[in-house]
Amino acid sequence: MYRMLLREVRHRMQAKHRLIIQDSLLPGNYGHGTHHKCEKTPEERLKNEYDDFKLLQSTPYPQEIVLSREEVEQVIKAEFRGELGKKDLLDRSITGLNFLNHLLDKSDCSSINTCSQGVTVEVLTAPRLTRQAPSLDALLGANSEPKHVFYYRVRISYDETKDLGRKYLEVMEDGEAKKKQAQGPSKVRVLGRHLRFVSADGSVMEVPKGSHGVVGFTPILKHNEMFEYMSAGHIEDRRGFLQGSFQMVRMGHVPEDRFDAPIVPAAFIAPESESDLNFKPDESWE
């Protein structure tokens, strides 16, 4: 099982050399937006699923949400090295393999990017159920042809320590030159969005650049804050991707400092069967 886990990681991460640790996408959150603090570690992000993933209980514990293939292999090696005599090793291995595949499936449909203004945009996609949720009727239209509809979750966060455009003053303290903020704590605001839903056949459904806000909000983000929302779009094929950008403004600057936070393409992948979906259906839709 130990070798099987390593082979699975090497095979699955051959083309995509990093694993983005994602918690599951919940369709019941469709159309909603929420503010919260940034999740800094996998344990924080997987707090509701963590007990199922025994591999993440290893030491050294992974402290990053994005892991390279080598780092994933080190987690597996640390967990299983010297533990072959434990009775529960087989059960733990099977559980770990299943959950590792679950994380890799979600990572395949994820993207993450941090721009020079300190804004990180993270996307996770998932296909909708065959049972169409009533809230998606308006998206498709009552008389439209069946489409491949995908949910997507976006997380927009701000880290002022990575914001290269902030204003600083150089001051002398104790005989040393130090940089200090010329203004108070920095904040950014999401003004609009530009989304392109691209199908494998080349067709595109586009939300024009500058379209107002996200799910009815123009959220303000302080340092270490995140705004998360979930919506849906459709493409003509079983496969495609979502790309685009969010139009942002750094607040408190004169003249106004506007910039785009890019969305790195996140794949749309519709599985052959619903048993392969990367989320658990919301029972309220049954």
Domains of the chain from N-terminus onward = 2-285 (2.60.40.1470)
Q: 164 vs 112, 119, 155, 156, 160, CA distance in Å? A: 19, 11, 21, 17, 8
pLDDT in 10s for each residue of the chain, 286 residues = 778 878 888 888 887 778 888 888 887 788 889 999 988 777 778 777 655 555 555 545 566 788 888 888 887 777 666 554 555 666 766 776 777 888 888 899 999 999 999 999 999 999 886 544 545 555 555 555 557 889 999 999 999 888 887 765 555 667 676 666 555 668 999 999 999 999 999 999 999 999 999 999 999 999 999 999 999 998 988 899 999 999 999 887 667 789 999 999 999 998 765 544 444 433 333 2
What do you get for the CA distance between the two ends of the chain, in Å?
A: 37
Measured in degrees and rounded to the nearest 5, phi and psi for residue 92 equal -65, -35
Q: Which residue has the tokens 């056949």?
A: 201
pLDDT at site 23: 86
Burial-class residue 60 by CB neighbours within 10 Å (0-12, 13-18, 19+). exposed
CB 152, CB 232: distance < 8 Å = yes
Structure tokens at 17: 């050399």
Rounded-to-integer distance, Cα 96 and Cα 207, Å? 40
Q: Residue 47: beta bridge partners?
A: none
* pTM for the whole structure: 0.81
